[in-house]
């Protein structure tokens, strides 16, 4: 006798194991034939196998309902499964974390103009690396070099895949087999595996630490320079701040030292910003143009942090130094792809109209939303959210503080507002909050807040349109009851 049940009973209905059709029989159904026309035979057949295999598994476990092996129902499941495999598993999410440039959430949302360029040009042959005037091979830097020079005052510019690549390339091209001096206060770990000492080693340069964690003086650099020194490097301490009894040597002083000894002065700005953010009431982030003016030979910064564009790494500086960087073989390995390059050109062009930037550049638009507007929005939304979450949770409007994110200005916070959601249960409140957070992540457009002080906090700074949240409230309500 077989241990396998041939029939099972669920809700009082028996489903015969043998009533599950064969793959061939399922594929001969007209609806399956239509699917095969739409998606091809291979995907339809492979998916049919998986669907039927699962059905047999459920029959084995006695979970099968009588209606499930019916052909009509099976073809509906089959169609949905074929479709699901073709949908992106990447999803738009609603970022209510309060961190505007969130590294885990795609960093800067792209400006409309950048998206238009990608759609307009991404699908056809293009001249990104072809000089139409000369009818010869061109350089993909030419798309953005003039813009970068105009915006930063640099003599030359080149672009690679991201700022980590830019730093690696700068060091490899300018200091391979030689020494690079970095202050002990600037030996940054950015996150992931990007640690300055490791990057140095990968680029084939020897890191020489100077000064101490909290204080580094000009003579620390002076004393460490010898015949093997190729570069002095400044690294922006993006994600931490050294406060109290501290001092660092600024670029203006370092450039004098670099010049005197004939070595290069490089600066990794991390985020960098092409405009003075203090003009918008935001904390000031160093500008590449200031660093070049102070005497840096070369400066690198990210495309998708405060710049507000696609992932990319900018390298701007003197003609001679940028040319050396461009000629290094790693440049080819680290080059930027066509889609981000198109998006970068469009993003940089927005900076040619600075008065419109807070409207056209999403990162800046979000960063400059005043608390008063966010507070009004929170008041507008509170009742509808409370209704969707009742009776398990209660909702109140609260002031909050947002962060810029991605290592920009780690200490500064932006006045914001949002909703504070707490469990109505007198016990196991935290478990309730975890359930809520999980339910929110399972929505068609997942909603990501943060949990703090026994509450789910929704910072509404990055919610530009109430509708995105409102349309999901009925579903949220249903999921919680
Ligand atoms: C963010 C950052 C990097 C890395 O830039 P990506 O564009 O993320 O590769 C390098 N250095 C500093 C100081 C940074 O803040």
Which CATH number do you get for residue 149? 3.40.640.10
Backbone angles phi, psi at 33, to 5 degrees: -60, -40
Which residues pair with residue 33 across a beta bridge? none
Pair 156, 245 in one domain? yes
Domain membership of residue 221 (yes or no) is yes
Domain membership of residue 55 (yes or no) is yes
Averaged pLDDT, 219-246:
88
| Ligand 1 atom closest to 164 (CA) | 9
Domain membership of residue 63 (yes or no) is yes
Pair 266, 404 in one domain? no
pLDDT in tens, 412-448: 789 999 999 999 988 888 999 999 999 999 999 999 9
In this prediction, residue 1 carries a pLDDT of 43
Domain with 249 in it: 112-360
pLDDT in tens, 53-66: 999 999 888 888 88
Share of the chain above pLDDT 90, in %: 82
Q: What's the distance, CA 184 to chain centroid?
A: 29
Averaged pLDDT, 21-47:
97
pLDDT in tens, 112-138: 999 999 999 999 999 999 999 999 999
CB atoms within 10 A of CB 23: 15
Domain membership of residue 106 (yes or no) is no
Ligand 1, residues 183, 233, 302: which to mutate, most atoms within 8 A of Cβ? Answer: 302
| Of 359, 354, 361, 366, residue with least CA distance to 276 | 354
Which residues pair with residue 360 across a beta bridge? none
| Ligand 1 atom closest to 107 (CA) | 8
Domain membership of residue 166 (yes or no) is yes
Judge if the beta carbon of residue 268 lies within 6 A of ligand 1.
yes
| Spacing, Cα 282 to ligand 1 middle (Å) | 21
| Ligand 1 atom closest to 407 (CA) | 15
Pair 446, 316 in one domain? no
Q: Which residue has the tokens 């003009």?
A: 279
Judge if the beta carbon of residue 188 lies within 6 A of ligand 1.
yes
| Strand-pair category, 229-235 with 179-183 | parallel
Q: Give the Cα separation of 155 and 292 in Å (integer).
A: 10
Ligand 1, residues 407, 408, 409: which to mutate, most atoms within 8 A of Cβ? Answer: 407
pLDDT in tens, 146-197: 999 999 999 999 999 999 999 999 999 999 999 999 999 998 776 667 788 8
Helix (H, G, I), strand (E, B), or coil: what is residue 306?
A: coil
pLDDT in tens, 274-284: 999 999 999 88
Query: Which DSSP state fits 156?
Result: E
Ligand 1, residues 190, 196, 307: which to mutate, most atoms within 8 A of Cβ? Answer: 190
**Are 68 and 57 in contact, with CB atoms under 8 Å apart?**
no
Judge if the beta carbon of residue 407 lies within 6 A of ligand 1.
yes
Residue partners of 202: CB distance under 8 A and separation at least 6: 168
Pair 224, 338 in one domain? yes
In this prediction, residue 376 carries a pLDDT of 98
Pair 59, 188 in one domain? no
Gyration radius (Cα) of the chain, Å: 29
Query: Which DSSP state fits 389?
Result: H
Share of the chain above pLDDT 70, in %: 94
In this prediction, residue 9 carries a pLDDT of 46
| Spacing, Cα 200 to ligand 1 middle (Å) | 14
Residue nearest (by alpha carbon) to ligand 1 atom 7: 163
Residue nearest (by alpha carbon) to ligand 1 atom 1: 270
Pair 225, 138 in one domain? yes
DSSP 369-383: --HHHHHHHHHHHHH
Residue nearest (by alpha carbon) to ligand 1 atom 12: 270
Give the number of domains in the chain.
3
Domain CATH number, residue 465: 3.90.1150.110
Judge if the beta carbon of residue 238 lies within 6 A of ligand 1.
yes
Pair 50, 123 in one domain? no
Helix (H, G, I), strand (E, B), or coil: what is residue 313?
A: strand
| Spacing, Cα 160 to ligand 1 middle (Å) | 13
Averaged pLDDT, 283-312:
96
| Ligand 1 atom closest to 167 (CA) | 10
pLDDT in tens, 399-412: 999 999 886 556 67
Q: Give the Cα separation of 82 and 26 in Å (integer).
A: 14
Name the domain boundary from 341, 360, 379.
Answer: 360
| Spacing, Cα 446 to ligand 1 middle (Å) | 27
Residue nearest (by alpha carbon) to ligand 1 atom 5: 163
**Cα 27 to Cα 41, 80, 199, 284, distances in angstroms:** 9, 15, 55, 64
Residue nearest (by alpha carbon) to ligand 1 atom 3: 270
Q: Does the pLDDT at position 259 exceed 70?
A: yes
| Spacing, Cα 34 to ligand 1 middle (Å) | 50
Judge if the beta carbon of residue 286 lies within 6 A of ligand 1.
no
Residue nearest (by alpha carbon) to ligand 1 atom 13: 270
Averaged pLDDT, 6-24:
67
Phi-psi category of residue 281: left, alpha or beta, with phi > 0 → left and psi -120 to 50 → alpha: left
Name the domain boundary from 337, 360, 383.
Answer: 360
Query: Which DSSP state fits 353?
Result: S
In this prediction, residue 97 carries a pLDDT of 98
Helix (H, G, I), strand (E, B), or coil: what is residue 31?
A: helix
Pair 202, 296 in one domain? yes
Q: Give the Cα separation of 338 and 107 in Å (integer).
A: 19
**Are 203 and 171 in contact, with CB atoms under 8 Å apart?**
yes
Pair 301, 397 in one domain? no
Pair 20, 130 in one domain? no
Name the domain boundary from 360, 378, 400.
Answer: 360
Give the residue ranges of DSSP H helices in 272-370: 288-293, 319-327, 329-333, 338-350, 357-360, 362-367
| Spacing, Cα 66 to ligand 1 middle (Å) | 58
350 confidence band (pLDDT: 50, 70, 90): very high
Judge if the beta carbon of residue 273 lies within 6 A of ligand 1.
no
Identify the H or E element spanning 265: strand 264-268
In this prediction, residue 245 carries a pLDDT of 76
Question: Is the backbone peptide bond immediately before 104 cis, with ω within 30 degrees of 0?
Answer: no
Which of the pair, 368 or 191, is modelled with greater confidence? 368
Pair 241, 270 in one domain? yes
**Are 402 and 416 in contact, with CB atoms under 8 Å apart?**
yes
* Average pLDDT taken over every residue of the chain: 93
Domain membership of residue 351 (yes or no) is yes
Phi-psi category of residue 246: left, alpha or beta, with phi > 0 → left and psi -120 to 50 → alpha: beta
| Spacing, Cα 305 to ligand 1 middle (Å) | 9
**Are 157 and 322 in contact, with CB atoms under 8 Å apart?**
yes
**Are 59 and 51 in contact, with CB atoms under 8 Å apart?**
no
49 confidence band (pLDDT: 50, 70, 90): very high
Residue partners of 468: CB distance under 8 A and separation at least 6: 94, 445
Q: Give the Cα separation of 17 and 407 in Å (integer).
A: 58
**3-state secondary structure string across 174-234:** HHCCCEEEEEHHHCCEEECCEEHHHHHHHCCCEEEEECCCCECCHHHHHHHCCCCEEEEEE
| Spacing, Cα 271 to ligand 1 middle (Å) | 7
241 confidence band (pLDDT: 50, 70, 90): confident
| Ligand 1 atom closest to 312 (CA) | 7
Judge if the beta carbon of residue 235 lies within 6 A of ligand 1.
yes
Domain membership of residue 1 (yes or no) is no
Ligand 1, residues 270, 272, 304: which to mutate, most atoms within 8 A of Cβ? Answer: 270
Give the residue ranges of DSSP H helices in 40-111: 41-60, 71-86
Burial class (CB in 10 A: 0-12, 13-18, 19+), 475: middle
Domain membership of residue 319 (yes or no) is yes
Backbone angles phi, psi at 216, to 5 degrees: -130, 135
Judge if the beta carbon of residue 313 lies within 6 A of ligand 1.
yes
Q: Give the Cα separation of 315 and 300 in Å (integer).
A: 5
| Spacing, Cα 321 to ligand 1 middle (Å) | 21
Give the residue ranges of DSSP H helices in 351-451: 357-360, 362-367, 371-389, 429-441
Judge if the beta carbon of residue 162 lies within 6 A of ligand 1.
yes
**Are 218 and 248 in contact, with CB atoms under 8 Å apart?**
no
Pair 216, 342 in one domain? yes
| Spacing, Cα 326 to ligand 1 middle (Å) | 20
18 confidence band (pLDDT: 50, 70, 90): confident
Give per-residue burial for 112-126: e unless 16+ CB within 10 Å, then b: eebeebbeebeeeee
């Amino acid at each position: 006798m077989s241990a396998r049940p041939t029939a099972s009973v669920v809700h009082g209905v028996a489903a015969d194991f043998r009533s599950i059709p064969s793959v061939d029989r399922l594929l001969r159904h007209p609806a399956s034939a239509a699917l095969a026309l739409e998606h091809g035979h291979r995907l339809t057949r492979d998916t049919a196998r998986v669907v039927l295999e699962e059905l047999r598994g459920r029959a084995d476990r006695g979970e099968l309902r009588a209606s499930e092996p019916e052909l009509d129902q099976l073809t509906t499941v089959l169609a949905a499964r074929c479709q699901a495999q073709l949908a992106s598993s990447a999803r738009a999410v609603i970022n209510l974390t309060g961190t505007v440039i969130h590294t885990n959430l795609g960093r800067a949302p792209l400006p409309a103009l950048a998206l238009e360029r990608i759609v307009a040009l991404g699908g056809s042959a293009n001249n990104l690396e072809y000089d139409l005037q000369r009818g010869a091979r061109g350089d993909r830097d030419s798309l953005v070099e003039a813009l970068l020079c105009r915006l930063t005052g640099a003599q030359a510019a080149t672009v690679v895949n991201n700022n980590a690549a830019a730093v690696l390339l700068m060091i490899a091209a300018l200091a391979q087999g030689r020494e690079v001096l970095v202050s002990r206060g600037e030996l940054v770990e950015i996150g992931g595996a990007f640690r300055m000492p490791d990057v140095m080693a990968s680029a084939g340069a020897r890191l020489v630490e100077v000064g101490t964690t909290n204080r580094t003086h000009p003579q620390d650099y002076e004393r460490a320079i010898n015949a093997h020194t190729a570069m002095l490097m400044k690294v922006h301490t993006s994600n931490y701040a050294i406060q109290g009894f501290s001092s660092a040597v600024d670029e203006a002083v370092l450039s004098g030292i670099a010049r005197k000894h004939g070595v290069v002065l490089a600066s990794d700005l991390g985020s960098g910003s092409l405009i003075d953010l203090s003009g918008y009431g935001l904390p000031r982030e160093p500008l590449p143009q200031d660093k070049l003016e102070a005497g840096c030979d070369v400066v690198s910064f990210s495309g998708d942090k405060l710049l507000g564009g696609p992932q990319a790494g900018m390298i701007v500086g003197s003609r001679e130094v940028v040319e050396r960087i461009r000629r290094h073989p790693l440049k080819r390995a680290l080059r930027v792809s066509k889609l981000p390059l198109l998006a970068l050109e469009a993003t940089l062009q927005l900076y040619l109209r600075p008065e419109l930037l807070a409207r056209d550049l999403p990162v800046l638009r979000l960063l400059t939303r005043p608390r008063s507007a966010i507070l009004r929005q929170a008041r507008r939304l509170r009742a509808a959210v409370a209704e969707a979450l009742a009776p398990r949770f209660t909702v109140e409007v609260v002031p909050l503080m947002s962060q810029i994110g991605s290592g920009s200005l780690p200490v500064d916070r932006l006045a914001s507002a949002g909703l504070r959601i707490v469990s109505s249960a007198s016990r196991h409140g935290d478990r309730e909050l975890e359930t809520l957070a999980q339910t929110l992540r399972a929505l068609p457009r997942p909603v990501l807040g943060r949990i703090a002080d026994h509450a789910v906090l929704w910072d509404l700074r990055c919610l530009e349109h109430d509708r995105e949240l409102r349309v999901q409230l009925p579903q949220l309500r249903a999921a919680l009851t």
